[in-house]
Amino acid sequence: MRNTRDTQLLFELSKAGRRAVELPACDVPQEPIADLIPARLLATCDLPLPELTEPQLVRHYANLSTLNMSVDTHFYPLGSCTMKYNPKRNERLAALPGIVDLHPYQPDESLQGLLALLYGLQEMLSEIAGLDAVSLQPAAGAHGELTALMVAAAYFREQGERRTKILTPDSAHGTNPASASMCGFDAVTVNSTSAGFVDLEDLKQKLDDQVAVFMITNPNTLGLFDPYVRQIADLVHERGGLIYLDGANMNAILGVTRPGDFGTDMMHYNPHKTFSGPHGGGGPGAGPIAVTAQLEPYLPSPTIVKKGNGADACYQLDYDRPRSIGRVRSFFGNTGVLVRAYCYIMTHGPDGLRRVAENAVLNANYLLSRLQPLLPVPHGPRCAHEFVATALTLKQQRGVTAMDVVKRLLDFGYHAPTVYFPLTVKEAIMVEPTETESKETLDAFAETLRQIVDEPPETLHAAPLMTPVSRPDEVAAARKPVLRWREAEQPSQVEG
């Protein structure tokens, strides 16, 4: 139950004369300092700062911190985003003084521990991908896409080829066509079949010698592993194009199959998704890319290389990369996220990583079968690590939208799933439970959704009813005050 008074502004709580700290009286003369600074530079304004006691301040911020949802406090079935639990052990390791107290301008010799760790991560990511070389520089998945497309552009330039198009399936994440455009290519959409896979006939029609790259997500955003992926790769390769794998869904296939084995030439990872780096609220993330040997010369500079072996081994930053696209990120990339990924992979080991994927897929299928009777899953009855349900029937029969359903989930303490994505499913509700949730959590979530779909449409249109802010981006919000706590004391609405 939440007391909405706690969300009052500090200015509203202010009472003249209150203080959180009291400083001793100044015991040095002040005037001479004022004399040294020209009068025009001295502040004269009297800032109306709030005046509060320390407990008021602490409660204000402590309460504010509970108004949001997080993986530590709530189930977060945000499809495509892989919001799995972030093990505290990785936080502790990433915060060790030997990591956080380094300065990026230190000489390589004094950074051997960190360089060894990052080199080890490169090697592991290369093995998991089934590809030859890795760059850790890109700062997010989308940045990895852009970087890899720049690598592809450099490769084709050196081949003396001018290819202008990038193909993306209609179920692709918006970052795919966006990265293509940012890199100066024309993004061309390839349709899906009604079964949710890449339409091979449409692909053949759109595939010509102008196509540089086909960007595929596999399993795709419908949570389906495309069984024709090998055939797709062959078709693209026959025309001289490259296959890019959007690796955001690696959680489904870790240790089960390797993108390189099904024809991928380059891919990105989202360590903040697959390898449990904390995310949400915009990052920081990371977007390491893995590529085949033929694309390796074009990777960003510098890369981390190992010289010598055994006791003589040392690690260096290699800037001698004349064909490289250059730097895409300062220093070593978002090191903190990369260290957590390293810890996560080392903790699980090869068999553990495979079990991560198996349990992610098991959890998703369990939840799919529990939700299917309430919200149909058009591309069921089985899925990989996530599935896309639809509220279309609910909308047609009772006027209740996907948005209404997921907004109501907030009132019951669940983060809302992704909605209206992928665009190929109407009234889409995209659910990814991840492997870190228990059966009890999944059951309770399914039971809550069962209650919600039977609630009166008016309740659902107005949801969420118990959060301090309702729907700031909705037309409905224009009709009623957005900040509920401003609506003079409404106990009926704030009981939760």
Q: Least distance from C-beta 176 to ligand PLP, angstroms?
A: 7
Query: By CB under 6 A, is residue 142 in contact with ligand PLP?
Result: yes
Q: Which of residues 7, 80, 86, 251 is near ligand PLP by CB under 6 A?
A: 80
The least CB distance from residue 121 to ligand PLP, in Å, is 17
CB of 424 to ligand PLP, least distance (A): 14
Spatial separation of the C-alpha atoms in residues 56 and 61, rounded to whole Å: 9
> Which 274-333 positions form the footprint of ligand PLP (CB under 6 A)?
285, 287
- Closest by CA to 290, choosing from 314, 308, 276, 271, is 271
**How far apart are alpha carbons 37 and 41 in whole angstroms?**
7
Q: x-or-dash pattern for ligand PLP, window 188-227, by CB under 6 A?
A: -----------------------------x---x------
Q: Are 325 and 147 in contact (CB under 8 A)?
A: yes
The stretch among 48-56, 139-147, 378-386, 432-440 that binds ligand PLP (CB under 6 A) is 139-147
Binding span for ligand PLP by CB under 6 A among 30-38, 61-69, 135-143, 458-466? 135-143
Pick between residue 81 and residue 299 the one whose CB is nearest to ligand PLP: 81
3-state DSSP helix/strand/coil percent for the chain, to nearest 5? Answer: 45, 10, 45
For residue 367, give the DSSP letter.
Answer: H
CB of 180 to ligand PLP, least distance (A): 13
Point out which span in 87-95, 138-146, 346-354, 487-495 binds ligand PLP (CB under 6 A): 138-146
Considering only 58-66, 136-144, 184-192, 349-357, which stretch makes contact with ligand PLP by CB under 6 A? 136-144
Task: Please give the Cα distance from 9 to 141 (Å, whole number).
Answer: 37
246 binds ligand PLP (CB under 6 A): yes
> Which residue number, 218 or 390, has a Cβ lying nearer to ligand PLP?
218
Q: Which residue is nearest to ligand PLP (CB)?
A: 141
What single string gives the DSSP state of each residue in 292-341?
Answer: -GGGGGGS-S-EEEEES-GGG-EEEEE---TTS---SSSTTSSHHHHHHH
Among positive and negative, which fits the CA dihedral 221, 226, 230, 231?
A: negative
Angle between helix 112-129 and 335-371 (nearest 10): 30
Among 321, 318, 323, 327, which residue's Cα sits nearest to residue 300? Answer: 327
Strand, helix or coil for residue 359? helix
Question: Is-contact 138 303, C-beta < 8 A?
Answer: no
Q: Write the interaction track for ligand PLP spanning residues 169-188; mark x where CB under 6 A is met and - where it is not.
A: ----x-x-------------
Residue 135, helix vs strand vs coil: strand
Q: Which of 7, 75, 124, 141 binds ligand PLP (CB under 6 A)?
A: 141
Name the one range near ligand PLP by CB under 6 A: 69-77, 123-131, 140-148, 403-411. Answer: 140-148
Binding site for ligand PLP (CB under 6 A): 80-81, 140-142, 173, 175, 217, 221, 246, 248, 270, 285, 287
